Amino acid sequence: MRLTIDHRTTYAFTAPQGRIVQLLRMTPGDTHDQTVADWHITVDCDSRMTQHRDGFGNATTMLYCEGAIERIELTVSGEVVTSSSSGVLHGAAELLPPRFFLRTTPTTVADAAIAEFAEQESGGRDIAALHRLNGAVRARFADDSGRPAKGRTAAEAFALDALTPRDMAQVFVAAARAMGAPARYVSGYCDLAGDNRPTPHGWAEAYVEDCGWIAFDPWLGLSPEEHHVRVAIALDAAGAAPVAGSRLGDGAERLEVNVTVQSDD
């Protein structure tokens, strides 16, 4: 399947900014099941970009803009060819051992409610148990198609009735780790998530002995296949966020994000 992606982020400021520095995790990598055919990151002002990789192996771009900046539009566009893998990750560079992803972060701590939920719904930590957990998260929550609340923890999300893809994925990650399964957050794109979304898509991966890393998308209640484009991984959503940065200047900031993913099939 060939997926065409258009991801536009616009910042508008109430006062001119003297300098903007952003870390972008917006470039997917090649695996056995996804090939980047075309990819571009553009900015509508004078800027400098440098390419790097972070400690998880994610491709990153450092963006530097200087001057009296009142508005900036960041556009990411490209095409990625994907194939079905039944959710099994093949050919991705792994810089860290699976046990590293048993670590919790402040936003992925499993409280007593999540731990009890994981135990009751999974009944183990093999691949079948993780699929049951994925289905149980899907069944428990209604869909929230809005922008995720910044800094919301998995425990806070678990107490709600409706969740965004990001929060569902973090609940899954916290529950899987409570079961003893290494798990991590994944950011990327999906043409099944709906057009004109306010954020990119998010899901999870869990490690299963003798199988490797398996992807689980609780928002859809299935394992990602050719409809997903994998971009970045981390211990939690903040570590895989498409944009993180700082600005030098007074005033408030208004953010608009529009993500469109279309397939040729």
Shared-domain flag, residues 111 and 232: yes
- pLDDT surpassing 70 at residue 196: no
Distance CA 133, CA 121 (A): 6
Shared-domain flag, residues 177 and 77: no
- Kindly report, residue by residue over 235-248, the tens digit of the pLDDT: 999 999 999 988 88
List Cα–Cα distances, 246 to 135, 142, 213, in angstroms: 38, 34, 33
Shared-domain flag, residues 73 and 109: no
Distance CA 6, CA 20 (A): 23
Shared-domain flag, residues 111 and 153: yes
Query: Average of pLDDT values for 74-88?
Result: 93
Distance CA 88, CA 214 (A): 5
Shared-domain flag, residues 95 and 11: no
Rg (CA), the chain: 18
Query: Structurally, how many domains does the chain consist of?
Result: 2
For the domain that residue 225 is a member of, what is the CATH number? 3.10.620.30
Asked if residue 215 lies in contact with residue 223, where contact means CB atoms within 8 angstroms, the answer is: yes
Shared-domain flag, residues 211 and 254: no
Report the b/e string of 90-102 with b at 16+ CB within 10 A.
eebeeeeebeebe
- Kindly report, residue by residue over 154-193, the tens digit of the pLDDT: 999 999 999 999 999 999 999 999 999 999 999 999 998 7
For the domain that residue 69 is a member of, what is the CATH number? 2.60.40.2250
Q: Domain limits at 11?
A: 2-81+243-263
Shared-domain flag, residues 258 and 137: no
**Across all residues in the chain, what is the average pLDDT?**
93
Shared-domain flag, residues 69 and 7: yes
Shared-domain flag, residues 120 and 182: yes
pLDDT at 189: 95
Shared-domain flag, residues 10 and 131: no
Report phi then psi at 219, rounded to 5: -60, -35
Shared-domain flag, residues 248 and 139: no
Residues contacting residue 137 through CB under 8 Å, at least 6 positions apart: 168, 171, 172, 175, 218
Shared-domain flag, residues 50 and 140: no
- Kindly report, residue by residue over 55-77, the tens digit of the pLDDT: 999 999 999 998 889 999 999 99
- pLDDT surpassing 90 at residue 145: no
